[in-house]
């Protein structure tokens, strides 16, 4: 997991794990499950709870305080209320409050705004004949859409982008103490800004997610202000890098498989199955973390209660017992029941939004830039184990 060759191409390692040790104990003591059937079943298994990432971060705080480089309590306490880090009953209550902003109808109403944002971002670079898919298109698109749903005014979008970037690696375990201290500072700035925005919206409600959360808080004790702040932070953490990786991995897969790019250009209605295939072929989120509440025996191995378990969505999505020719990128694939959005109670809340953004952004790129090509050179992958995507993705096209 720490080897650059693994970041570049984890799939041969996944294939070996699936075949030889589908329940594997890593040198760090965590377990990794790689077969589709196991991952799918265990995601729905109530004997698994969330892994206490906020607790792990909080336990580092005394070291930072001793070195006088800060503390981590703001960050840890905001994270305690993130949906994917909560078990029921808190999870059930918090999720029901935000669910209605993400129904297919609510998301479909965002279509014009998504198309308009994609067109505006493309217009900025069109005459240059060059763009970086990650930084010129994917990041600003993902942040703009989350910020608009929440109701963050346009002038704050650049600060919000900076905070979202600063916090985006918080779920990944490969962080230094200094990086955590920096993330805690970013969390403080983020929360201070959103506290001000809540006060403003309380006076002048609008048709946005923040105003509807305020309406719920004002009804009684169903949602505290701290929980509301955490919900806002979570949207950026859960929705930014993931969508960016969908677009980055998608453009990369299409340009590395030119016949599929051409097929999509000839038949634009394939965009829906193309986006699902991208999500399966190179999943933006590679791992979910969980902890069994009691000992579990699987394929002859005993996983003790309380141990950290990784469900490898990336490996499950290339399992030949579920997908025919799993290493082939095929935008017409049928019965594509990938696990890129996870499963069970933590199934991705933003899946409909991510699919729509992916369909509009990639559909527009293929239509507008038929000769789009990768700038030759090595693709630098994010050095993360949870997320998978290119750090930058420069492409050229006829201006
Ligand atoms: C292609 C883009 C996306 C992918 C691949 C993705 C993937 C995932 C995955 C795998 C999980 C489960 C985490 C776990 O079980 O531990 C998840 C949860 C979540 N996602 Fe997404 N996501 C994407 C986009 C978004 C967007 C755009 C939003 C919102 C703006 C969002 C909001 C959430 C939330 C709030 C959760 C937590 C749900 C819960 O625990 O109940 N996601 N996502």
CA distance linking residue 225 with residue 144, whole number of Å: 23
Strand segments (E) across 171-286: none
Is residue 100 very low, low, confident or very high in pLDDT (cuts 50, 70, 90)? confident
Q: Which has more confidence, 70 or 228?
A: 228
pLDDT digits (tens, 9 = 90+) for 126-138: 999 999 999 999 9
Q: What are phi and psi of 143, to 5 degrees?
A: -65, -40
Which residues have any ligand 1 atom within 6 Å of their CB?
83-84, 95, 146, 234-235, 238-239, 242-243, 246, 284-285, 288, 340-342, 346, 348-350, 353-354
Looking at residue 221, its pLDDT comes to 60
H or E segment to which residue 297 belongs = strand 296-298
Which ligand 1 atom is the nearest neighbour of the CA of 355? 1
Those residues whose C-beta lies under 8 Å from the C-beta of residue 46, and which sit 6 or more positions away, are none
- Among 79, 89, 242, name the best residue to mutate to test ligand 1's pocket (greatest count of ligand atoms within 8 A of Cβ): 242
Q: What is the mean pLDDT of residues 58-76?
A: 81
Q: In this structure, what DSSP letter does residue 330 have? A: -
**Domains located in the chain, CATH noted:** 4-396 (1.10.630.10)
Q: Tell which wins on pLDDT, 100 or 214.
A: 214
């Amino acid at each position: 997991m720490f080897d650059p060759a693994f970041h570049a191409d984890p799939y041969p390692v996944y294939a070996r794990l699936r075949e030889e040790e589908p329940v594997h104990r890593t040198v760090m003591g965590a377990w990794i499950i790689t077969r589709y059937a196991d991952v799918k079943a265990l995601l729905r298994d109530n004997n698994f709870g969330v892994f206490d990432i906020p607790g792990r971060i909080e336990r580092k705080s005394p070291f930072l305080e001793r070195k006088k480089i800060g503390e981590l309590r703001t960050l840890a306490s905001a994270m305690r209320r993130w949906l994917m880090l909560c078990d029921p009953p808190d999870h059930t209550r918090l999720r029901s409050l935000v669910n209605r902003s993400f129904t297919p109808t609510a998301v479909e109403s965002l279509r014009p705004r998504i198309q308009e944002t994609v067109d505006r971002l493309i217009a900025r670079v069109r005459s240059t004949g060059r763009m970086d898919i990650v930084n010129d298109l994917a990041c600003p698109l993902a942040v703009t859409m989350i910020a608009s749903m929440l109701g963050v005014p346009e002038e704050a979008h650049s600060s919000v982008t900076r905070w979202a970037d600063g916090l985006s690696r918080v779920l990944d375990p490969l962080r230094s103490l200094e990086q955590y201290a920096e993330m805690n500072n970013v969390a403080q700035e983020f929360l201070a800004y959103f506290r001000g925005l809540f006060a403003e919206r309380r006076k002048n409600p609008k048709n946005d997610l923040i105003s509807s959360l305020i309406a719920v808080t004002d009804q009684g004790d169903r949602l505290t202000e701290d929980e509301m702040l955490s919900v806002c932070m979570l949207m950026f953490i859960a929705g930014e890098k993931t969508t960016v990786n969908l677009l980055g991995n998608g453009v990369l897969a299409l340009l590395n498989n030119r016949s599929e790019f051409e097929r999509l250009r000839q038949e634009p209605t394939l965009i829906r199955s193309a986006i699902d295939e991208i999500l399966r072929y190179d999943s933006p989120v590679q791992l979910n973390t969980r902890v069994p509440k009691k000992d579990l025996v699987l394929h002859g191995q005993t996983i003790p209660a309380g141990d950290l378990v990784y469900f490898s969505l990336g490996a499950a999505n290339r399992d030949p017992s579920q997908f025919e020719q799993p290493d082939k990128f095929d935008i017409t694939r049928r019965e594509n029941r990938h696990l890129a959005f996870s499963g069970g109670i933590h199934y991705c809340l933003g899946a409909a939004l991510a699919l729509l953004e992916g369909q509009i952004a990639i559909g527009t790129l293929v239509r507008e830039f038929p000769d789009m090509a990768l700038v030759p050179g090595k693709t630098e992958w994010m050095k993360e184990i949870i997320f998978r995507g290119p750090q930058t993705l420069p492409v050229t096209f006829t201006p």
